[in-house]
């Protein structure tokens, strides 16, 4: 089964939600992605940490089928992010982003990684996403995620990266921000016009939409009674989506639709606890069961 190559952040998060607060827990886009994707396949992780990255986190990532040959340790402190969620968990404020060792990082892929077939450019400086794209020889599928921080701070590099990938993953707010329009579908068309063949728009607790050519497919989010921490939902979604595509090695539209549902299933587990806590206890059986539930609550008859 093909592994997924992922470049993104690995760091320490401090997060406050109405249900609690955690300090300096394992976080970062690539960390969430790898743990989520491990339900389907392994990840070749390309990222950077500082000398203060706890040994137990290396062990955790290794135990979740992550190949750490591309995880570099540099002198200095880890990437750190802190955020606070509102009573409405769809809204959050970033309190602080400390790039630390990320500011010095220039990824050089181990030779085996250059042959990767599935590539996820998780949320990180678009210059680093471009550098990884340059080093992978013949990928079958490339997918890119980003966030407001880079849309406003590194727009030119991000645009160049958007031109070069197959699938773009953004949330509604990011599509509007990037395209400078309140009209979501117009913004989506603008992003697709740059070159990607598909765009996945994440809509938080309302699900996700897949747009490609003239096609449109919508998958709601799993109706959870309790969400404890939405951090990393997007990266976990990406882990389920791309992990499933790599596992099945099938890029048909029907399979992309299934992948969207698997992404939603995995994200629904991720938000049930802080950090990657809940993802560590999920089994492939739990995933299958929730997938079937999605089928039941989205099915309706023709009249």
Among 33, 40, 53, 81, binds ligand AMP (CB under 6 A): 81
Binding mask 207-246 for ligand AMP (x = CB under 6 A): ------------------------xxxxx-----------
CB of 163 to ligand AMP, least distance (A): 20
Q: At closest approach, how far in Å is the CB of 142 from ligand AMP?
A: 18
CB of 122 to ligand AMP, least distance (A): 7
9 lies in the binding site for ligand AMP (CB under 6 A):
yes
The DSSP bridge partners found for residue 96 are 82
Closest among 219, 186, 223, 182 to 200, alpha carbons compared: 219
Structure tokens at 116: 């990767």
Residues 6+ apart with CB under 8 A from 164: 130, 133, 142, 195
For 294, residues 6+ apart whose C-beta sits below 8 A from its C-beta are: 219, 220, 222, 261, 264, 265
Instruction: Return the number of the residue (235 or 273) whose C-beta is nearest ligand AMP.
Output: 235
Cβ–Cβ < 8 Å for 120, 33:
yes
Smallest gap, in angstroms, from Cβ of residue 107 to ligand AMP?
A: 14
> Of 132, 97, 151, 96, which Cα lies nearest the Cα of 4?
132
Residues numbered 11 to 70 that lie near ligand AMP (CB under 6 A) are 11, 13, 27-29
Nearest approach, Cβ of residue 15 and ligand AMP (Å): 8
Total chain residues near ligand AMP (CB under 6 A): 17
Which residue number, 30 or 116, has a Cβ lying nearer to ligand AMP?
A: 30
Q: Which is nearer to ligand AMP, 28 or 243 (CB)?
A: 28
DSSP string, 44-76: EEEEEEETTS-HHHHHHHHHTTEE-TTEEEESS
Minimum distance, C-beta of residue 81 to ligand AMP, in the bound complex (Å)? 4
Question: Looking at 14, 73, 90, 97, which residue binds ligand AMP (CB under 6 A)?
Answer: 97
Cβ partners under 8 Å of residue 214, min gap 6? none
- The binding track of 138-177 with respect to ligand AMP, each residue x by CB under 6 A or -, is ---------x-x----------------------------
Is 32 strand, coil or helix?
A: helix
Question: Do the beta carbons of residue 246 and residue 44 sit within 8 Å?
Answer: no
Residues that bind ligand AMP (CB under 6 A): 9, 11, 13, 27-29, 81, 97, 123-124, 147, 149, 231-235
């Amino acid at each position: 089964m093909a592994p997924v190559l992922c470049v993104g952040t690995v760091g320490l998060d401090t997060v406050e939600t109405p249900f609690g607060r955690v300090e300096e827990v394992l976080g970062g886009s690539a960390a969430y992605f790898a743990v989520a994707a491990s339900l389907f396949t392994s990840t070749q992780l390309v990222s950077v940490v500082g000398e203060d990255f706890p040994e137990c986190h290396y062990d955790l990532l290794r135990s979740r089928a992550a190949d750490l040959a591309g995880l570099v340790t540099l002198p200095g402190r880890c990437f750190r992010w802190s955020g606070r969620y509102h009573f409405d968990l769809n809204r959050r404020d970033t309190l602080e982003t400390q790039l630390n060792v990320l500011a010095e990082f220039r990824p050089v892929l181990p030779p085996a990684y250059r042959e990767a077939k599935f590539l996820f450019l998780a949320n990180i400086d678009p210059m680093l996403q471009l550098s990884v794209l340059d080093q992978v020889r013949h990928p079958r599928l490339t997918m890119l995620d980003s966030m407001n921080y880079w849309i406003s701070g590194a727009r030119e590099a991000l645009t160049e990266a958007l031109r070069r990938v197959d699938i773009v993953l953004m949330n509604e707010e990011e599509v509007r921000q990037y395209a400078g329009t309140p009209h979501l579908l117009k913004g989506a068309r603008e992003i697709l016009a740059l070159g990607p063949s598909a765009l996945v728009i994440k809509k938080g607790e309302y699900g996700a939409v897949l747009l490609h050519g003239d096609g449109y497919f919508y998958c709601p989010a799993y109706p959870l009674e309790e969400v404890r921490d939405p951090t990393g939902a997007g990266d976990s979604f990406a882990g389920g989506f791309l992990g499933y595509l790599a596992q099945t090695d099938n890029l048909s539209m029907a399979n992309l639709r299934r992948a969207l549902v698997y992404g939603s299933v995995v994200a629904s587990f991720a938000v049930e606890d802080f950090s990657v806590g809940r993802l560590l206890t999920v089994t492939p059986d739990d995933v299958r069961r929730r997938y079937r539930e999605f089928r039941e609550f989205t099915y309706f008859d023709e009249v």
